[in-house]
Amino acid sequence: MNIEETQQFDPDYVRKNKFWKFWFIMSLITIGLILVVYRLLSIQVIDSEKYKEIAKKQHESKITLSSQRGKIFDRYGRLVASNLESISIAVDPTRLKNPLRLAELIQESLEIPKERILKKIRSAKGSFVWLARGIFPEKTSKIADLGDKGVILIKEPRRIYHYGLVCSQVVGFTDIDNNGLSGIELKHDSILKGRSGYMVMNRDGLGRLRPAADLPVFPAVDGYSLKLTIDIEFQRIVEYELMKGVESADAEAGTVIAIEPSTGEILAMATYPTYDPHLSSGEKKQGNMRMRAITDTYEPGSTFKIITAAAAMEEKLVKEEDKFNGYGGSMQFKNFVIRDVHGIGVVTFREAMEHSSNIIMSNVASMIPDYTFYKYLRDFGFGIRSGIDFPGEVPGKLPKPEDYNAASKRYMGFGYGLSVSPLQITNAYSTIANNGILMKPYLVKSMFDLEGKEVYSRKPEQVRRVISDSTAKRLNDMLKGVVNKGTGKSVRVDNLQVCGKTGTAQQIVNGVYSKSNYTASFAGFFPAENPKVAMIVVLDKPRSSIYGGAVAGPIFKNIALRWASVSDEIKSGNLLEYASIDTTIEKSDNYIVPNFIGKNRAEALKISALTGLNLIFNHENDGVVIEQSPEPMTHIEKKNPINIFLTSNERKKKSTTDYEKINLVGVPLRKAIAYLNAYSIKSKVIGRGIVIKQRWEIDGNKSRLCILECN
């Protein structure tokens, strides 16, 4: 027997060999007990608060209490933006009993495809998913009656804009959670939004929420309300006339901004095309949302000449009657040639301004020392932000004296070689109208708390004196001459003296000045004796005419005429006479019926929003306006409706006797073509712009052909 076999029968060996296993097992048990005790201590003592909080969350739920967003008013207290109670629909997929029936009801009530609703429910990863937000309460009654415990209906405030498209780019809009996304809504979001609160509720065994008296409630704090400097009725006039002007000029876009010279308050500010703030973010066109008056820059052209004149006259380098040579419209300077549209010879400085001579203004600019010229341009506000309380302001570009070359100052003298915003030009003209004092422009006039108590009031702020009172008055007189005898004759109004200057500037395309893309503008103020409004009209790429006096001037004139007819401040100066209806001034209770012919339903509704007129359509579908009653250019009281007849889905051809009733003279070409297409009438176009003449012919297929001559 060997040693190993002997050890197997040795009792001491066997006892020792098995005893270490016993202690090993006992050690494991002891360690396990220690871990259990430590874990119990951790839960019950060390981390007790943590686990109490977890338990509380299982039996309690925090419910957010939404704050009411502050209201927005115009300068006279007219409500522009407020809130309406809405219902948002959500579900708990884990408790939803009948998702198909819910989807069918939502499709029936809200016209949301049931497949989209079912996809949201099935793809939900948690116990909460939104199905629809901001729904008017009357549309959710059937969903509430469903009685499904998995359906969650939550009351939420919904932002309402009472004037629709009017002032939409100024006021801006909010998202579904009432966060400001653009305009005043974005700039003053923290003030308007307030602070959300919450309340804690118990959750019973079935998951139902129940209030309890001992659970905390932190009420929401509603936002402050704002009163703007905008006059909403003036804004309506501006937007309507701008829309008409852009379409008439066949321009890509247009901008107007109007300032009260003595205070810097923005009275109206608009860009066309515009947008409806009630549309969803996906439906809004991004380009239509920006306020070009503040966010865009351009080379101003001849509207800048008055700034050159201001610097030269303030420095006593020129007088109105000093003589200058216009060289017949062409002047060679080193390697450059400066030209005038209409050549002139030797004229006074006043006449040079009236005829808008590039040559003479370039020579005047060259007389001003570099740093002096730069100082005046900066003092007028060019090359720097004004600090207006609106998002997206750009400073423009103003070359510094050390960067001037041989031609820089000469070209800046008539508005080239620098970039400005429409706001900057308007504020410069406002400075001249305000006797040489530059005011800081602003949009928010005051703020109010929940009880309607004023908590903040903005006071007009003088930035600096730019030119003397006497120089400002002399410039005022020169700008009168531009309107009465010069390039601004299209703005001349009987019994209302307008001061202003036309502007026509080539745009840079691919690094060179284009021969087809221009910016046309008119800047000025009225009435001359006691200016109440400084304003600019800017058109981007007009096609019917490139000249500011031809396309921007009439828009300025129409706005001034219509505003003067309803403004007590302007009328109080006995500047206007209203004896004749032929003045085309529209009274506050009387309106000239617009021409809706050729426009589609959406465009007609846009005009309705901008004018306040009530339209009655012959059906609810889309289509093109083929007839209206009363007819265009007739007078109507605003309370009376206008009947609009749209094409149906099935287009019909006009009978032979109906052709003589078609009158498209004065209608923009694209609208005229849309009208003819609606009736399947063939057309032939001569020129572009506005239809000035039409005639009928029979083509080779013996069909009627409408010949449209445009200008």
Tell me if 55 is assigned to some domain.
no
pLDDT value, residue 139: 83
Of the given ranges (203-217, 606-620, 628-642, 668-682), which has the lowest mean pLDDT? 203-217
Q: Where are the alpha helices (DSSP H) in 420-508?
A: 422-433, 469-485
DSSP state of 148: -
pLDDT value, residue 260: 97
**Run of H or E residues at 171:** helix 168-171
pLDDT at residue 481 greater than cutoff 50: yes
Per-residue confidence band for 54, with pLDDT thresholds at 50, 70 and 90: low
More confident residue, 571 or 663: 663
Question: CATH number of the domain that 206 lies in?
Answer: 3.90.1310.10
Tell me if 577 is assigned to some domain.
yes
Tell me if 677 is assigned to some domain.
yes
With pLDDT > 90 as the criterion, what percentage of the chain qualifies?
45
- Asked if residue 216 and residue 273 are part of one domain, the reply reads no
- Asked if residue 236 and residue 224 are part of one domain, the reply reads no
More confident residue, 280 or 572: 280
With pLDDT > 70 as the criterion, what percentage of the chain qualifies?
83
Q: What is the pLDDT of residues 498-547, one digit of tens each?
A: 999 999 999 999 889 998 899 999 999 999 999 999 999 999 999 889 99
Per-residue confidence band for 660, with pLDDT thresholds at 50, 70 and 90: low
More confident residue, 98 or 395: 395
For range 261-288, the mean pLDDT? 84
- Asked if residue 440 and residue 425 are part of one domain, the reply reads yes
Q: What is the pLDDT of residues 153-181, one digit of tens each?
A: 888 788 889 888 899 999 999 988 888 99
More confident residue, 103 or 471: 471
pLDDT value, residue 301: 95
- Asked if residue 432 and residue 335 are part of one domain, the reply reads yes
684, β-bridge pairs = 707
**Count of domains observed in the chain:** 4
pLDDT value, residue 284: 63
pLDDT value, residue 130: 83
**How many Cβ atoms from other residues are within 10 Å of residue 26's Cβ?**
10
pLDDT value, residue 579: 28
DSSP for 626-683 reads EEEESPTT-EEETTS-EEEEE--SS--PPPGGGGGG---TTSBHHHHHHHHHHTT-EE
Query: Under 8 Å CB-to-CB from 46, ≥6 apart: which residues?
Result: none
More confident residue, 271 or 129: 271
Per-residue confidence band for 635, with pLDDT thresholds at 50, 70 and 90: confident
pLDDT at residue 235 greater than cutoff 80: yes
Tell me if 663 is assigned to some domain.
yes
| Summary count for the chain: helices (H), strands (E) | 23, 30
pLDDT value, residue 371: 96
Nearest Cα to Cα of residue 197 among 68, 65, 70:
65
pLDDT value, residue 483: 95
More confident residue, 360 or 87: 360
Per-residue confidence band for 650, with pLDDT thresholds at 50, 70 and 90: very low
SS3 306: helix
Q: Where are the alpha helices (DSSP H) in 408-468?
A: 408-413, 422-433
For range 593-597, the mean pLDDT? 77
Of the given ranges (40-54, 254-268, 303-317, 578-592), which has the lowest mean pLDDT? 578-592
For range 450-478, the mean pLDDT? 94
Tokens of 557: 């004139």
pLDDT at residue 431 greater than cutoff 90: yes
- Asked if residue 262 and residue 224 are part of one domain, the reply reads no
**How many Cβ atoms from other residues are within 10 Å of residue 581's Cβ?**
12
pLDDT value, residue 639: 73
Of the given ranges (317-331, 388-402, 617-631), which has the lowest mean pLDDT? 617-631
pLDDT value, residue 571: 55
Among residues 228, 251, 286, which one ends one of the domains?
Answer: 228
Q: Examine residue 527 and say whether the peptide bond preceding it is cis (omega within 30 degrees of 0).
A: yes
For range 315-334, the mean pLDDT? 93
**Run of H or E residues at 501:** strand 499-509
- Asked if residue 322 and residue 287 are part of one domain, the reply reads yes
Tell me if 282 is assigned to some domain.
yes
Strands (E), 247-316: 253-260, 265-272
More confident residue, 673 or 321: 321
- Asked if residue 667 and residue 573 are part of one domain, the reply reads no
pLDDT at residue 113 greater than cutoff 90: no
Q: What is the pLDDT of residues 666-691, one digit of tens each?
A: 777 777 777 787 777 888 888 877 78
- Asked if residue 687 and residue 616 are part of one domain, the reply reads yes
| Top-confidence range, 32-36, 99-103, 443-447, 663-667 | 443-447
Tell me if 52 is assigned to some domain.
no
Per-residue confidence band for 577, with pLDDT thresholds at 50, 70 and 90: very low
- Asked if residue 252 and residue 372 are part of one domain, the reply reads yes
- Asked if residue 503 and residue 598 are part of one domain, the reply reads no
pLDDT value, residue 573: 46
Tell me if 632 is assigned to some domain.
yes
Q: Within 13 Å and on the Cβ side, how many CA atoms surround 654?
A: 22
Taking only Cα atoms into account, the Rg of the chain, rounded to an integer number of angstroms, comes to 36
DSSP state of 436: T
Of the given ranges (61-70, 436-445, 702-711), which has the lowest mean pLDDT? 61-70
Per-residue confidence band for 648, with pLDDT thresholds at 50, 70 and 90: low
DSSP state of 44: I
- Asked if residue 665 and residue 615 are part of one domain, the reply reads yes
pLDDT at residue 587 greater than cutoff 60: no
pLDDT at residue 569 greater than cutoff 70: no
Nearest Cα to Cα of residue 504 among 484, 490, 485, 525:
490
Nearest Cα to Cα of residue 506 among 415, 423, 425, 426:
415
Per-residue confidence band for 412, with pLDDT thresholds at 50, 70 and 90: very high
pLDDT value, residue 51: 61
- Asked if residue 37 and residue 66 are part of one domain, the reply reads no
Tokens of 703: 């069909």
Largest CA-CA distance found in the chain, in angstroms, rounded: 144
524, β-bridge pairs = 500, 535
Q: Find the domain containing 493 and state its range.
A: 232-583
Strands (E), 527-650: 533-540, 590-592, 615-617, 625-629, 635-637, 642-646
- CB-based contact 162:79 (threshold 8 Å): yes
- CB-based contact 485:492 (threshold 8 Å): no
Q: Is the sign of the CA dihedral 243, 245, 251, 256 positive or negative?
A: negative
pLDDT value, residue 658: 63
pLDDT at residue 234 greater than cutoff 70: yes
Question: CATH number of the domain that 504 lies in?
Answer: 3.40.710.10
Tell me if 51 is assigned to some domain.
no
pLDDT value, residue 565: 81
pLDDT value, residue 623: 76
pLDDT at residue 657 greater than cutoff 90: no
Among residues 557, 583, 609, which one ends one of the domains?
Answer: 583
Q: What is the pLDDT of residues 61-83, one digit of tens each?
A: 666 666 789 999 999 999 999 98
Among residues 583, 610, 628, which one ends one of the domains?
Answer: 583
Mean of per-residue pLDDT scores for the chain: 84
SS3 347: strand
